[in-house]
């Protein structure tokens, strides 16, 4: 079955700097890759997603890139702000099932 690995497990950046979180997946049939943000004690919220027919997608300060050949995708947050501090999860799924398999999460801390 699908396996998703996520790195780093923790990331601390200065406010205004960029943050990058990387994920790799094992099943080449996966074609949907969302990213979720989870604040303490709350439910995960979708922040951006990408499908395998595109290589990059951007939404204001957030971007996701996908390399299908290498089977990895990354989340990029620019001009980080303290409210970006949270746990971020990547996930992968196939269109046929939409069964999301999640990475282990990255705890991002943005220092003021």
> Footprint of another protein on this chain (CB under 8 A)?
1, 6, 32, 34, 42-46, 49, 89, 95, 97-105
Rounded to 5 degrees, what are φ and ψ at 85? -65, 125
Shortest spacing between CB 46 and another protein, in angstroms: 5
Contact 110, 85 (CB under 8 A): yes
- Of the pair 100, 112, the CB lying nearest another protein is at 100
Tokens of 25: 């997946």
Closest to another protein by CB, 45 or 67: 45
Q: Which CB, 17 or 99, lies closer to another protein? A: 99
Concatenated DSSP letters of 35-93: EEEE-TTS--EEEEEEETT-SEEEETTEEEEEETTTTEEEEEE-S--GGG-EEEEEEEB
Q: How far is the CB of 38 from another protein (least distance, A)?
A: 9
Q: Rounded to the nearest whole angstrom, what is the least distance from the CB of residue 60 to another protein in the complex?
A: 18
Closer to another protein by Cβ: residue 14 or 40 = 40
């Amino acid at each position: 079955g699908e396996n998703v690995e996520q790195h780093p497990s923790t990331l601390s950046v200065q406010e205004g700097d960029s943050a990058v979180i990387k994920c790799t997946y094992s099943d080449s049939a996966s074609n949907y890759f969302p990213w979720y943000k989870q604040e303490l004690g709350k439910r995960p919220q979708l922040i951006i997603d990408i499908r395998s027919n595109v290589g990059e997608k951007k939404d204001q300060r957030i971007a996701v890139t996908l390399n299908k050949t290498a089977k990895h995708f990354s989340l990029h947050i620019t001009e980080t702000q303290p409210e970006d501090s949270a746990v971020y999860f990547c996930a992968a799924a196939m269109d046929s099932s939409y069964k999301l398999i999640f990475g282990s999460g990255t705890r991002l801390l943005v220092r003021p």
